[in-house]
Amino acid sequence: MSPPAKPVLLTGASGNLGRHLAKELAARGWRLRLTDIAPFPDPLPAGAAFVKADLNDGVALLRQAEGCGAILHFGGVSVERPFEEVLGPNIRGLYHVYEAARREGARVVFASSNHSIGFHERPSGNAERLDYDCAFRPDGYYGLSKAYGELMGRMYWDKHGVENVNLRIGSCFPKPVDRRMLSTWLSYADLTRLVERCVLAERAGHAVIWACSDNPASYWGRDHRERIGWAPQDSAEPWRPEVGGITADPVTERYQGGSYTAIEYSRACPSPRDPFALED
């Protein structure tokens, strides 16, 4: 598969997923511009250049995006944190990414998250799987920023024609390590193939992908993967005998967002399945 004709900008390049993508995409001959607020910790891959930059600095981001055909936006706060810590990189920083994409005519691949829908309850069967157009139900400030990011992509597509693919990443680790990950796990190899197709697909429009491997226990159903020509090849099932059992926290076990839903949780009883209902 031929590499993209134009350079590709990767934000969050010094994080775990960014480092993996930098190595694998560079090995495929991609010309990469890497950026992060933290130094790049590995030897720089062939064909890649790194510039330290803050997502809050819109001018720096515009400079890095010049001439790029795609922006892989994996930067920002990547776990649940207080609102003020999330605000700058995840909200203002995303605006800077989309302004750069609008100016360059670049496609955005946005690392969204399952935490944008984390307060949906876990399904009891395949018929209850969530589709891409389900309601947002973020489970914290981090998840809220990811819902905002997907909505910004919708607006920039409607208003400016900026193509964007929103990857609702489940749990991307070398292997699943708990029971929930049997449903949410995304292998590194499947992530690489997914990002590759997001950039190389002829058309993307505004798309949402459930970014998880081919897990029979998945919580998620329809999305736009056929549009970009991606299908996961790995599965969490081989690790089923190794993972742990049910946690002691009923909130964690009830919702798709897992432990994030239990952070500072103060309700006396669960919210209704219908977010606009008074009770179930």
Active site annotation includes 255: no
Backbone angles phi, psi at 132, to 5 degrees: -60, -25
Distance CA(185)–CA(35), nearest Å, equals 26
Query: How many residues would you count in the chain?
Result: 280
Q: Angle between the 141-160 and 93-104 helix axes, to the nearest 10 degrees?
A: 20
Q: Per the structure block, which two tokens stand in for 189?
A: 């190899």
- Dihedral over Cα of 262, 264, 266, 267: its sign: negative
Distance CA(86)–CA(142), nearest Å, equals 7
Distance CA(70)–CA(6), nearest Å, equals 8
Catalytic residue among 142, 156, 255, 260: 142
- Report yes or no: 175 and 239 within 8 Å, Cβ to Cβ: yes
User: Tokens 């010049």 appear where?
Assistant: 66
Indicate which residues carry an active-site annotation.
Answer: 142
